[in-house]
Amino acid sequence: MIIDEISLFINKWLKKGRRWLSEFMNQADHTLSKASFLLQEKKKQIDDYLVDRNQLLAVIQKNRKEVDDLRAHITQLNDGKAFHLIDVYEQLEMRSSKLLDYQEKYMDVQKTIDEQHKQVQAVTKEKDRALIERDWLKTEYNHLKGTIQKKTLKLAALQNELQQLKDTQSGQDLIEQKEAEIVQLKKDRIIDEDKLSRLKRSHLDMIKKMGILNHELTDTKERLDEQQQAAKDLQDLIDMKKEEVEQSREETIAQKEKAEDAQEKMREYLLQFEKASNHSQTLQEALEEKEEEHSDMLWETDNKIKTLKNELLDTHNKLAIEKAHNGSPRALDTKALQTLEQEYEPRFKTLYHECFFHREFFSDFFSLSASDRLKVEACIARLNSHYDLHIGNVRPNTVKTRSVTLNEYPFGQDRAGRIYFRRDDNKVQFFRISRTKNGKGALDQKRVVAWLKKK
């Protein structure tokens, strides 16, 4: 009886000890994870600060360059202001010369226009004369043609009269008289027909001449229009060049005034620029000194982070051995869970694009020790980047759920851990994690597999 009571007492204290050890490990794991997270955040702040300082350095260098450029510009102005004024005078002379050239061209074009005006007038007069002559020829032609027609009719009448005289056997004298009239009328008609033929040729020649004169007049007017347009364009250029000449004169006056003002203010500007340059140099020296201090601080901080990470890893490894033996997952409080979620979930989604993580997977993952989390993430990275290369590490056993078949990926030094996943459409889906095989803890293999088979 006493032995039983002692046994119950010992078991009670063993349970309390295990519970206390589990709580201690959970708290230590949470504290170390939070410390690592804070150190990473601190390092990021230092890196951001370094970026800001580099930007400040760039601004200082830019300002110093601007000061040097301005001083060089003033020095150049001091050395070359006379040459610049000469350039302005030369530009004025060049523009004036171009204006004279355009004016001479304009006068030449105007002379050509006057000549072509005279040519148009001459051709027009000749055309008018040809038109009068053509009308006269046409009138003469029509008149002569009418005369020939009348003589033809008269000839026919005389021939009829002659025939009647012959038929009536009239006197021979009368017949000879009619025959003589007919002969004379025929001669007159031949002369008129020859004259009509000459008039017709003259009329045709005059029509051709009119066509040539019309064509010449059209060409001359077109050339005249072109010359008038050229004259207009030249006049526009002359007006523009006059404005440029006037502008050059104003620029010459203004440049002369600027040169005089620059001469008076040169020393003042140089003194200001020298002060600004010295101030920039002082800022540069201060920045270099501060940058050296920052570099030392960054080096020291990096060493501290590395040391803390190593200590964190050693502590987690030691606790992991005890936790693996005990088999009890950590009972995370709300604050610890939020810390882990903020640390891992966004990072996993950013780094592992070929993977999808179920909510239960993250719950199991957060319950692992830091050492086991590192091992599981290493497996995830392999499957995400080189799935075909590492699929050989998958155990031959599978877990059949109600809808899909899952593979088992072992992890841990004892290889007792299991990652349950499958690949669909080139996307690796992670479902659950088991850590022990001794029947202890919520992440025991049998419990996790039984849960999966119900899904």
Q: What is the pLDDT of residues 100-114, one digit of tens each?
A: 887 888 888 888 888
Instruction: Kindly tell me if the per-residue pLDDT of 73 is higher than 70.
Output: no
pLDDT number for residue 324: 45
Instruction: Kindly tell me if the per-residue pLDDT of 181 is higher than 60.
Output: yes
Identify the three-state secondary structure at position 433: strand
More confident residue, 364 or 140: 364
pLDDT band at residue 431 under the 50/70/90 scheme: very high
Least confident of 202-206, 262-266, 330-334: 330-334
pLDDT number for residue 349: 92
Regarding pTM above 0.75, the answer is no
pLDDT number for residue 46: 61
* Average confidence score pLDDT of the chain: 79
Q: What is the pLDDT of residues 311-342, one digit of tens each?
A: 554 455 445 444 544 444 455 678 878 888 89
Instruction: Kindly tell me if the per-residue pLDDT of 310 is higher than 60.
Output: no
Chain center to CA of 421: 46
Residue 442's closest CA among 305, 343, 330?
Answer: 330
By the 8 A CB rule, do 294 and 49 touch?
A: yes
Q: 170-195: buried (b, 16+ CB within 10 Å) or exposed (e) per residue?
A: eeeeeeeebeeebeebeeebeebeee
Instruction: Kindly tell me if the per-residue pLDDT of 124 is higher than 80.
Output: yes
pLDDT number for residue 376: 96
pLDDT number for residue 266: 73
pLDDT number for residue 443: 92
Least confident of 100-114, 116-130, 176-190, 260-274: 260-274
Name the token pair of 424. Answer: 């669909």
Instruction: Kindly tell me if the per-residue pLDDT of 309 is higher than 70.
Output: no
More confident residue, 35 or 404: 404
CA gyration radius, the chain:
60
Name residue, tokens 């949470």.
30
CA distance linking residue 144 with residue 359, whole number of Å: 124
Instruction: Kindly tell me if the per-residue pLDDT of 75 is higher than 80.
Output: no
pLDDT number for residue 314: 47
pLDDT number for residue 10: 54
The pair phi, psi for residue 416, each rounded to 5°, is -85, -20
By the 8 A CB rule, do 206 and 134 touch?
A: yes
Domains along the sequence of the chain with CATH: 1-327 (1.10.287.2610), 340-430 (3.30.2310)
Instruction: Kindly tell me if the per-residue pLDDT of 20 is higher than 50.
Output: no
More confident residue, 428 or 272: 428
Q: What is the pLDDT of residues 266-292, one digit of tens each?
A: 777 777 877 777 787 787 777 777 766
> Could you tell me the strand order of the sheet in which 417-424 lies?
355-357, 427-434, 417-424, 405-411, 395-400
Q: Which of 12-26, 101-115, 321-335, 384-398 has the highest mean pLDDT?
A: 384-398
